[in-house]
Chain A
């Protein structure tokens, strides 16, 4: 492949995804979501509505939670990205992953990677403390199975283990 010239409408970008550097050629219209799933086989990030309404595609971009479906890959050049695949340390689950299992915080599981990435971003924002604040702060992630009460319980339990809210 190396001697094939790049198509005129692709651009070279560099991304750090889950700590690993990637050099990629992307067309401008490729979303970050499609790049992760279709090009890099990081299929933990889910495509739900593809319109920024459901939150299934939530990933962390430079530490902040964003909808990968409404993000152009080309605009992430140089950025650090964390997906659900990057949260565990080897076999040691992230506290949120552990809490989701403990609280049975899912049924079909399709929204779960987005829920967990969103909650990691929420914890870093350091604003949500009470149950009501967690509900509001997680409102960008829909769960059509309706596992909300268990999701909130899992997030509430894991929050102190993630460094907790900032003072």
Chain B
């Protein structure tokens, strides 16, 4: 790890004043320190934000939940309100990382973790995300884990988070604080597709700090399911994951449907228009299969990851079926 200067601001204002291109905020450190050991990140200054008052989980006036950015992944997954009202979020968090890492990692940091693309992590090879303009060895290299949706010629990396897939389905909002004050970002707009600037994972400005995540009142409770498929049963990144939520009307038609995919793109993948087009259709396996086909219709496989298309379709059908079963047998 390269030497760096350290500061620990007492207030959010101080923290954002100290921000800059040569600095990184640190909270759990689980991803940042790993990247610093690999020389992928080489900040001259590290700003420790763990002294800031961002550890609260509270119910909001509209019946939603506001989660402080420093709440650990473990605390959040096991928070009574999250377990009872947002089980999808709880399941997604517990599907990720290890118990040790979940004790350390923060809510805000989970959103900001970088891709685990091997080429991004290897500072000895080109990578447009790490060194803009240097090229993308993953496109024609080992790309079994890489994107099938929304990729560009510059980058085929995928976002590694499980929690973010659930937050996308729950339509969370990201509260950020910068020198100009606070703003709220809808979750769908927070992460970005790589396009010609894959070095940018999200829409945060340099001086902006995530202070909280706001969840609207739960759109579904029992009728949701997080399904994660990976190479081993635990402690691995998703090849494909699905956060599914469902509302079924009395006549067994679909009254609400949300599906976010992980492991397939540079950000959690959703198609809200397609979800709306399913309303009123029968809540059956056939409908879910039609939805899955349509959601994957623009998928473009690389040399080693065509299997992800079939895997994703089947995972969607299974997650929605499980969500429906959870509603019928809570």
Contacts and interface: CB of A to CB of B under 8 A. Distances in A.
Interface of A: 9, 11, 27-29, 31, 50-52, 55, 58, 64-67, 70-72, 74-75, 118, 121-122, 125, 127, 135-137, 139-141
Interface stretch (B98-106, B134-142, B172-180, B302-310): B98-106
B6 A74 contact: yes
Closest 7 A-B residue pairs measured CB to CB? A140-B98, A28-B6, A139-B234, A139-B235, A64-B103, A140-B100, A29-B1
Contacts of A74: 6, 48
A119 to B, nearest CB: 10
Contacts of A75: 26, 29, 48, 50
B49 to A, nearest CB: 10
B3 interface: yes
B48 A70 contact: no
Given A55-B98, A72-B29, A74-B48, 11 more contacts: A28-B6, A29-B3, A52-B100, A67-B30, A70-B29, A75-B26, A122-B99, A125-B99, A135-B234, A140-B98, A140-B235
Contacts of B98: 52, 55, 139-141
Contacts of B104: 66-67, 70-71
Contacts of A127: 78
Interface in B11-30: 26, 29-30
Nearest to A50: B37
A11 B48 CA distance: 14
Contact of A136 (B2, B37, B50, B234): B234
16 contacts: A11-B6, A31-B1, A52-B100, A58-B100, A64-B74, A64-B103, A65-B103, A66-B100, A70-B30, A71-B29, A71-B104, A72-B29, A127-B78, A136-B233, A137-B99, A140-B101
B34 interface: yes
B44 to A, nearest CB: 11
B30 A52 contact: yes
Contacts, number: 81
Nearest to B78: A127
Contacts of B101: 52, 67, 70, 140
A139 B234 CA distance: 6
- In the complex, which of the residues A27, A66, A118 has the most CB atoms of chain B within 10 Å of its own CB atom? A66
A71 B60 CA distance: 33
A113 to B, nearest CB: 13
A72 to B, nearest CB: 6
Nearest to B46: A28
B103 to A, nearest CB: 5
A140 B94 CA distance: 12
Nearest to B236: A139
Contacts of B103: 64-66, 121
B105 to A, nearest CB: 9
A137 B103 CA distance: 12
A136 B2 CA distance: 35
Contacts of A58: 100
A55 B2 contact: no
Contacts of A31: 1, 33
A135 B232 CA distance: 13
B100 A65 contact: yes
B315 to A, nearest CB: 20
A70 B34 contact: yes
Contacts of A139: 98-99, 233-235
